[in-house]
Amino acid sequence: MNTAHETCVNRRFTEKEGSDPNMAKKIKGLAMLKIGEIGWIEKDAPECGPLDAIVKPLAVAPCSSDVHTVWEGALGERTDMILGHEAVGEVVEVGSLVKEFKPGDRVIVPAITPDWMSEEAQAGFAMHSGGMLAGWKFSNFKDGVFGELFHVNEADGNLALLSDSIPVAEATMLSDMVPTGFQAAELAEIEFGDTVCCIGIGPVGLMAVAGSNMMGASHILAVGSRQVCVDAARGYGATDIINYKDGDIVDQVFEKTDGKGVDKVCIAGGDVHTMEQAVKMVKPGGIISNVNYLGSGEHVFIPRVEWGCGMAHKAIQGGLMLGGRRRMEKLASLVEVGKLDLSPLLTHRYRGFDKLEEALLLMKDKPRDLIKPVVVIEE
């Protein structure tokens, strides 16, 4: 599934500035060594294809997906693969055919970097370019953003200019958390006055709450347990909190909605049973959106009776986030004008590239006061 550009990513790379042209420039990166093990490694620096860019990270954030990848083996075995897919950076090199970016530009790097000329992109599903979910390349098919330099395919389509008004730490949330959480709200087709249940209020779910709120939801029932997330959810527009540890969330939703259920459900947390709960709590004609990664179990259950024996008009949509320059810059504009404050997500801030390992391990351990860690390398 790799493009020609990516397969050459780790080929030898020669520097112009006076060094021995036969000596490959080396970069350091925090890598998955094998399932269950991370460590610092050195690799040849990435090479820039004609449409591509080489970017130096200014700030990066570990993600739940990095944890799934390393410690749950979600993608299968990966050896010495540099991790990470959430970054803002500075462009250090562009290919000869890149028109919109130049060295020195500060950019938001989306987690998903599709091949925009693919058939899937033409069909409107760029995130699946090259195969299902294959628009996700960083720390999946190629080295990710936790290296001193990283490669971005199709720079004009995938990078987005970062405004000076957004601090780099907050801007990292635009790589994945905002586009994914907002997509949950978009896939649920939130309408003015909808009652929405957002299941999961980690950073993704919190952005589903914020997105639902902006799209006009009235009641937003947020499902989570940790106080730090509950407080943030209220700040982003949740009107009711449901703790899944206090009993069946379906019962709790019906209690809070006078037995009516909700118009829409956004799933950004839970397990394989969550879909079953969502089908039960959504009204006929409602929509369930899922952006949660379902990491275990063979099947997702749809309850026959509550799905109207197949005739309830309860739609289910699940999606991988979409990036692309236009979308990323539009989402960033919400932060620029002050309509979206990303600072409540950043509960743990680190400074310096070497702190990355600590930040990733924190994400793995998920202490109760964590929403999202960020590592600022350079401002």
Interface with Zn ion by CB under 5 A: which residues? 63, 65, 86, 176
Quote the least distance from Cβ 175 to Zn ion, whole Å.
Answer: 7
> If you ran DSSP here, which 8-state letter would residue 125 be given?
-
For residue 312, the one-letter residue type is: A
Please, which residue, 25 or 68, has the CB nearer to ligand NDP?
68
Residue 25 contact, options Zn ion, ligand NDP, none, Cβ 5-8 Å cut-off depending on partner type: none
* 3-state helix vs strand vs coil in the chain, percent to 5: 30, 25, 45
Please, which residue, 335 or 363, has the CB nearer to ligand NDP?
363
Residue 167 contact, options Zn ion, ligand NDP, none, Cβ 5-8 Å cut-off depending on partner type: none
Residue ranges that bind ligand NDP, judged by CB under 6 A:
64-65, 68, 176, 180, 199-205, 223-226, 229, 244, 268-271, 274, 291-293, 320-321
Please, which residue, 105 or 176, has the CB nearer to Zn ion?
176
Quote the least distance from Cβ 226 to ligand NDP, whole Å.
Answer: 4
What three-state secondary structure class fits 29?
strand
Residue 286 contact, options Zn ion, ligand NDP, none, Cβ 5-8 Å cut-off depending on partner type: none
Please, which residue, 143 or 176, has the CB nearer to Zn ion?
176
Please, which residue, 234 or 318, has the CB nearer to Zn ion?
318
Pairing of strands 262-267, 282-290: parallel
Quote the least distance from Cβ 65 to ligand NDP, whole Å.
Answer: 4
CA distance 30 to 70: 12
Helix (H) or strand (E) holding 264: strand 262-267
Residue 241 contact, options Zn ion, ligand NDP, none, Cβ 5-8 Å cut-off depending on partner type: none
Q: 283: alpha, beta or left, given left = phi > 0 and alpha = psi -120 to 50?
A: beta
Quote the least distance from Cβ 204 to Zn ion, whole Å.
Answer: 8
Residues in CB range of 136: below 8 A, 6 or more apart? 85, 111, 112, 127, 320
Residue 49 contact, options ligand NDP, Zn ion, none, Cβ 5-8 Å cut-off depending on partner type: none
Quote the least distance from Cβ 293 to ligand NDP, whole Å.
Answer: 3
CA distance 7 to 319: 27
Cα dihedral 35, 38, 39, 44 sign: positive
Please, which residue, 66 or 194, has the CB nearer to ligand NDP?
66
Residue 202 contact, options ligand NDP, Zn ion, none, Cβ 5-8 Å cut-off depending on partner type: ligand NDP
What three-state secondary structure class fits 308?
helix
CA distance 320 to 306: 26
Please, which residue, 51 or 127, has the CB nearer to ligand NDP?
127
Quote the least distance from Cβ 4 to ligand NDP, whole Å.
Answer: 26
Quote the least distance from Cβ 137 to ligand NDP, whole Å.
Answer: 13
Q: Reading across the β-sheet that carries 240-242, which strands appear in turn? A: 240-242, 220-223, 196-199, 262-267, 282-290, 315-318
